[in-house]
Amino acid sequence: MSEKWLSIVGIGEDGVGGLTPAARTLLDTAEILVGGERHLAMVPDDNRERRAWPSPIRTLIPEIEALRGQRVCVLATGDPMHFGVGTTLLRGIPPSEVTIVPGRSAFTMATARLGWTRHETDCLTLHGRPLELLHAYLYPGAKLLVLTDDGAAPRAISALLTERGYGPSRLMVLERMDGASEGSIDGTAETWSADRTDDFNTVAIDCIAGPNARHLTRTPGLPDDAFEHDGQLTKQEVRAITLSALAPTPGAVLWDVGAGCGSIAIEWMRQHPRNSAVAIEHNADRLSLIAANASALGTPRMQIVSGKVPDALAGLEPADAVFIGGGITTGGLVERCWNDLKPGGRLVANVVTTEGERILSNWRENHGGDLRRISIERAEPVGRLTGWRPAMTVTQYIGRKS
């Protein structure tokens, strides 16, 4: 069994006095202390070695790994495993070498103060993350708890809510919970007047939709006009069917090949906060459309790759699913995507040309899978009357790699 040389201790605004006996023992017996300047200032100076968190924080793993063999205590805010430094450290250090003692998380304290039910509240962090992530969480009646690291963030959040039509939403900023200087500020998004709050805060949002609010569901098939596009867009009904065929699961990675305006990749990521996607597109104008759509629809962390396939696929994180929406006639593209797909992964391709159909039909004959045709008709004006206008029929291939 590996020796547990590293401890990660959650500490609150009440400092060392709020630690459990077990946490205090780990702190007192450590040879080296690591934490933010605020955390280290809570521990009386006793001449032990102290190291402040590096920037960027991803460099923390090798720095702490180099201390193996010494007793190291990392101090973190609240629960280190809920959007905390513990998650970062365990990406490189085996859990068998680590002791974790969580403290009271901001989410736990906030729900207690607000009287909100924890399992009915969405919790997220904007620490080092784009504000636009909020777009994916907004719906009438949603209750959100948002960690921030900036006293200007509540003002920016209120502006975003108001712009989206959620101006009546109630906001409460909880500052330095469990500390001697704990405080709160409340109001509505559209009337918010506080330019700054304490940098160490949690923002509670009770989402109330105004009359002009637009609800963008996480269920596959956003309206076509939710996206900026130049016509290269997988239409709403076909998009919903395609997402169903891709079968996203939490934490899965998608390649959207020939992404157009990025609609498939964006809806994939909206399915679950842990999902990730890579949009591959060679048209420069469409790259800017993808970026704009990702930001506006709550997936600003989506990876966008500029280049022609199959060369643009080199070096990408292996995919759990691949969608080919363009470029199907490029020599070797289907083979390359299939070979790079993880075992058990799914390949879905949509085509509207006979040349594309021929490629997918041959691929199915040699590798199995399913083919289906999708025909959609929409009611549109015909002069002063209404008639059915068919969209181009889409042929779809679905294959699962054994």
One domain for residues 75 and 170: no
Q: For residue 216, is it within any domain? A: no
Q: For residue 218, is it within any domain? A: no
Q: For residue 215, is it within any domain? A: no
One domain for residues 331 and 255: yes
One domain for residues 377 and 330: yes
Dihedral angle at the C-alpha atoms of 15, 20, 26, 30, nearest 10 degrees?
20
DSSP-assigned letter for residue 93: S
Question: Among 176, 206, 236, where does a domain finish?
Answer: 206
One domain for residues 65 and 113: no
**Whether the model pTM is above 0.85:** yes
pLDDT at 1: 46
Beta strands in 126-226 (DSSP E): 143-148, 170-175, 183-188, 201-206
One domain for residues 118 and 99: no
One domain for residues 164 and 240: no
Neighbours of 203 (CB within 10 A): 22
Q: For residue 293, is it within any domain? A: yes
Q: For residue 1, is it within any domain? A: no
Kindly report whether the peptide bond that precedes residue 56 is cis, defined as omega within 30 degrees of 0. Answer: yes
Q: For residue 115, is it within any domain? A: yes
In 3-state terms, what secondary structure has residue 388?
strand
φ and ψ at residue 19, rounded to 5 degrees: -75, 150
10 to 96, 108, 174, 297: CA distances (angstroms): 18, 13, 19, 34
Q: How many domains does the chain have?
A: 3
Spatial distance between the Cα atoms of 21 and 238, rounded to a whole number of angstroms: 58
Which residues 6+ apart lie within 8 Å of 13 measured at CB? 176, 177, 178, 179, 180, 182, 200
pLDDT at 2: 65
Question: Among 104, 130, 148, where does a domain finish?
Answer: 104
pLDDT at 166: 98
One domain for residues 181 and 276: no
Domain span at residue 379?
Answer: 224-400
One domain for residues 317 and 343: yes
Helix residue ranges per DSSP H, 176-250: 236-246
One domain for residues 89 and 113: no
One domain for residues 155 and 84: no
Per-residue pLDDT of the chain (402 residues; tens, 9 = 90+): 468 999 999 999 999 999 999 999 999 999 999 999 999 999 999 999 999 988 777 788 899 999 999 999 999 999 999 998 999 999 999 999 999 999 999 999 999 999 999 999 999 999 889 999 999 999 999 999 999 988 999 999 999 999 999 999 999 999 999 888 999 999 999 999 999 999 889 999 999 999 999 889 999 999 999 999 999 999 999 999 999 999 999 999 999 999 999 999 999 999 999 999 999 999 999 999 999 999 999 999 999 999 999 999 999 999 999 999 999 999 999 999 999 999 999 999 999 999 999 999 999 999 999 999 999 999 999 999 999 999 999 999 999 998
Question: Among 104, 137, 152, where does a domain finish?
Answer: 104
Which of these, 354, 375, 355, 357, lies nearest to 365 by C-alpha position? 357
Helix residue ranges per DSSP H, 226-321: 236-246, 263-270, 284-296
Q: For residue 213, is it within any domain? A: no
CATH assignment of the domain containing 142: 3.30.950.10
One domain for residues 331 and 374: yes
Type and span of the H or E element at 3: none
In 3-state terms, what secondary structure has residue 86?
helix
Beta strands in 166-273 (DSSP E): 170-175, 183-188, 201-206, 253-257
Cα radius of gyration rounded to whole Å, the chain: 25
One domain for residues 193 and 329: no
CATH assignment of the domain containing 40: 3.40.1010.10
